[in-house]
Structure 1
Amino acid sequence: MRLTNLLGALAVGALAACATTPPPLPQADVEHIRQQLEYLAADELAGRETGTPGYRQSAEYVAGQFRALGLQPAGGEDFLQEVPFRRASWDGREPTLVLQGRDGDITFRFGEDFVASPPTTAESTAIAAGLVFVGFGIDAPEYGIDDYAGLDVSGKIVVILSGRPSSLPSEVGAHYASSRTKRQTAARHGAVGYMTLNTPQREKRSPFARAVEHREDASFDWIGADDMPGNAIPGLHPGVYLDMPAGRQLFMGAERSLDTVFTEVANGLAPRGFPLPYRASLTSGARHEQVLSPNVVAVLPGSDPELKDEYVVFSAHLDHLGKDAEGRVVNGAQDNAAGIAIMLETARLFVESGRAPRRSLMFVAVTAEEKGLLGSDYFAQHPPVPPRAMVANINLDMPMLLYPFRDIIAFGAEHSSLGQTTARAAARAGLRLSPDPMPEQVIFVRSDHYSFVRQGVPAIYLITGREAQDPAADGTAMQNRFLRERYHKHTDEADAQVDYVAAQQFARVNYAIAREVADADRKPRWYEGDFFGELFAPGG
């Protein structure tokens, strides 16, 4: 290129850059965030447990905040999307499990040999069928794993090891190791029931005794228009979880003992399955109660005629745990009054910027996260807009506003172009994007954003990073101390632990991310070949 042409091209490029340089990021208002966080984390709301008056009051408060900002209800005249739930409790009835063999019956004891949850599918259930061991119960052909190969489980109860083989990558493995996926796989192969056993490695991390402590807990699920629980699998009896000594009974007289199977797992092998020489008879019963608890949904309409029917969805869970065993209110200031307050402030920044986003923004305060991501699951399957109109999800769950920070973490950043967007937005806010510091926790599949991922929507989940602005502060130690001393405890209060400079930073970077996603010419996309994109959004 001739020098004059090069200079001319550079000049044109400079003018274009000036013309497209985004305006400075707005400053978040600390007092707004403080007021909203303190209201939601007050004792008067009694811990915001799903379906309680305290939760209802918090939902009405958030709806009022949306209304005051001039946002629009989504899909109707009300900001509240009522979610129908079913609560199932034992009501004095206990499930039964009897092992039937050639030498007679063995009756297992509830709360000692096995535990189960009250069934949400029916108030009385019963099943009797033969048993087949299916290893980890995973069918992942893309990774060369088929634990059902050569086994006939049609009409049988499958016996499944918890966890996954070491050969599966962590997040992929977490998907396949989830109870939901294993139940779906079992039913797809014709099973009518399932039992779960810990491996010794799993027992060390999550002992059977811990499950026994919760044997009287109620079950919870949302209910569809067909009156069926959203997570139920028709034809599959509710499962049971066995202690190891009881599990060994199932393998007595089989071609391999349970301890032999455990040795194979310890040596990194994926144990193959085989029939077990027993039948099992299971009964279960429950008292059902209907509960309504709303998601709170608002929209800021987009301005671009071509893009306004696409929605960037912010989500944050509004519910918490209610009270602890000693009757103390568990207010959940960081988890997740903070996330709701940040979402509200992000909405305010957009409204007061005077510059409508090109795409529409949807703000969703979801219920029943603490019950198993149920509110977001219901919303993602019953959105007030066409499902494919949701093009991105940004999730805010327990951001840990503990200190002014230099970096942010976006779980899921490596799966879609939202990661690149987040890195650029963070730089605009004077921050950097750090990698997941705890990949072994597989956070990507454990919060509300995953409900959107399962519907094919690219998503990220944001928390503050571990690098504090103060060189003398150890961000990792502060986060770990919060998780150890306050997380899911009555000590998670709106007190001096909440750093409002961090809150201001976090709202600002959320605005920057959403602004770029909403105004970009191209919607976010899964990276080519990404496991979750291929699984949940084929051809998307």
Structure 2
Amino acid sequence: MLIKSKRVFSLLICILFITSTLSGCSSYSDVSAKRSVIANADEKLIDEESLIGIVQELSSEKYAGRMAGTKGNEAAALYIAGLFKKIDLINPEGLDNYMQRYPQTVITLKDLPKLSISSDGDKTSKEFKYVDNFVIRSLSSKTYDINIDAPLYLIEDLKEINAENQEIRGKLLLISWELRFNRTLNEILELLNSSGAAGALGGRDALAVTPMLGSWLEGEHYPFIDVDNDTFAELVSAYGKGRKASFHCSFMREDNKKVPNVVGLLPGTDEKLKDQYIIIGAHFDHVGQNMDGSFNPGGLDNASGVAAMLEIARVLKENKTAPSKPVLFIAFNGEEGGLLGSEYYAEHPIYPIDNSVMICMDMVGSSEKLPLMIKGVGGRDLNLRNLMHGLCKKLGIDAVKEIGYGSDHESFAYRGLNSVMLINEDFNNGYHSPEDTSEDVDKVRLEEVVKLVLYYIDKNAYN
């Protein structure tokens, strides 16, 4: 009996081993299938370290925040063009070093903006720090050297801001976040600009440095300054004590400054599909430096998108099989100032765009666990958005499809192209501030976005 029991036990061990082995093979096959879902583009070529290396480079001090029209922005354009050349993308005919230059108004600060509360004797009793405590949302159309020293006035109802209200004329208005949260900045500015007030200070939960817009200098415009909630409370207290506030800001304006988009082409192999471009875009500009030795790196916004775009280009170029359709890569300038670079390209395309699609990557690969938002423009064709959401499901990427604006996909959607934006909406981790560093970007999640776009190209650009 003992000998028979041993034989049965040995038989059971063999059966368990074989079952385990077969199960392991099945599991391995599933993983392998997931890895090989992209049939034509070799995703093994994706280099996570290269991806994060580009993010680190573009968000470094060398480029000083990459604001359009600055030396740092020009240096960033040269860096991207150098990588286009290294990848061996085609330099479009008529462009010098991949650069499509276009004119835009560039406004830069001359010195550090200052905001303070005056004491009873008109001496400064409290100074606030630019970027930490306040940022500029609108400048003055009257002067390039703003010097305001005025009484404060607390607005209890937005209806108080009108030309007939003599109480607010010549004063700095205090507008709480609760009063303005459901109004756009432009709506507030329209009230302010016709009121006769000297300017306004608006409370806000989180501050974000904003590029200086040329439109601020058109028509009637007065300063609007965002302040954090603690600063707003101090200003309200100063108002209650009858104190004044002072705001100083000097800036320079340069019209028709030629700034570059950077454009490179990977040609398709099928002559019949030569006008069906897949446009892969990401803006490379950001909001510059802060006149106090600090700068806004723009790691997530949008060194991440540029890195993903460059890695997609490199993988496709090094791939054994070239796509049948041409793939056009564009690093856009002037996005932060109002989508200026992409608008220019959409209006002055180097290649035909009527039969093209556009994929925009903006703030991708956030270190925060946020879903990838896939956004199309309302009232426009959403097929591309829906298709890419389906591809996310197949790749196991947590994604949500929505309507969304505020990036370069808009410029192409309004020209009739099927366009989409990919974005991780992380606005709480240093957005438009010195805190938006490469640490805000996760290389694994950034690689997911690269795979997604490669998967789309794999399904739609190969015969």
Common topology (TM > 0.5): yes
Trace 1:119-158 onto structure 2 (pairs within 5 A): none
Q: TM-score, normalised by structure 2?
A: 0.61
Match of 1:26 in 2: 43
Q: Deviations over 1:227-285 (max 9, x none)?
A: xxxx99xxxx7355799xxxxxxxxxxxxxxxxxxxxxxxxxxxxxxxxxxxxxxxxxx
Equivalent of 2:105, from 70, 77, 86?
Answer: 86
Trace 1:99-110 onto structure 2 (pairs within 5 A): none
Q: Which moved more, 1:67-76 or 1:331-340?
A: 67-76
Residues 1:503 and 2:446 are matched in the alignment: yes
* Cα gap change, 1:30 to 1:210, in 2 (>3 Å): same
Equivalent of 1:494, from 416, 438, 459?
Answer: 438
Deviation of 1:23 (Å): 4.6
Q: Work out whether residues 324 and 461 of structure 2, in 8 Å CA contact, stay in contact via their aligned partners in 1.
A: yes
Match of 1:409 in 2: 373
Q: Work out whether residues 263 and 328 of structure 2, in 8 Å CA contact, stay in contact via their aligned partners in 1.
A: yes
Deviation of 1:41 (Å): 0.8
Deviation of 1:358 (Å): 1.8
SS where residue 101 of structure 2 aligns? Answer: strand
Trace 1:4-403 onto structure 2 (pairs within 5 A): 22-23=39-40, 26-27=43-44, 28-77=46-95, 78-87=97-106, 118=141, 196-197=190-191, 208-210=200-202, 218-220=212-214, 238=219, 240=221, 288-324=254-290, 326-389=292-355, 391-402=356-367
In 1, Cα distance between equivalents of 2:360 and 2:376:
11
Q: Work out whether residues 426 and 512 of structure 1, in 8 Å CA contact, stay in contact via their aligned partners in 2.
A: no
Q: TM-score, normalised by structure 1?
A: 0.53
Deviation of 1:432 (Å): 5.0
Matched residue type, 1:209: L
Which of these two proteins has the greater Rg computed from alpha carbons? 2
Q: Deviations over 1:453-477 (max 9, x none)?
A: 121111110124xxxxxxxxxxxxx
* Cα gap change, 1:447 to 1:178, in 2 (>3 Å): farther
Q: Work out whether residues 346 and 415 of structure 2, in 8 Å CA contact, stay in contact via their aligned partners in 1.
A: yes
In 1, Cα distance between equivalents of 2:38 and 2:297:
42
Matched residue type, 2:191: L
In 2, Cα distance between equivalents of 1:291 and 1:413:
30
Deviation of 1:87 (Å): 3.5
* Cα gap change, 1:25 to 1:44, in 2 (>3 Å): same
Q: Which moved more, 1:341-350 or 1:423-432?
A: 423-432
In 2, Cα distance between equivalents of 1:333 and 1:90:
22
Matched residue type, 1:238: G
Kindly report the root-mean-square deviation, in angstroms, between the aligned alpha carbons of the 2 structures.
4.0
Q: Work out whether residues 140 and 223 of structure 2, in 8 Å CA contact, stay in contact via their aligned partners in 1.
A: no
In structure 1, list runs of 5 or more residues that go unmatched: 1-19, 92-114, 120-173, 183-194, 199-206, 222-230, 244-285, 437-441, 465-478, 521-540
Trace 1:445-484 onto structure 2 (pairs within 5 A): 445-464=405-424, 482-484=426-428
In 1, Cα distance between equivalents of 2:394 and 2:319:
17
* Cα gap change, 1:242 to 1:290, in 2 (>3 Å): closer
Q: Work out whether residues 25 and 512 of structure 1, in 8 Å CA contact, stay in contact via their aligned partners in 2.
A: no
Identity %: 28
Match of 2:233 in 1: none
SS where residue 427 of structure 1 aligns? Answer: helix
Matched residue type, 1:399: V
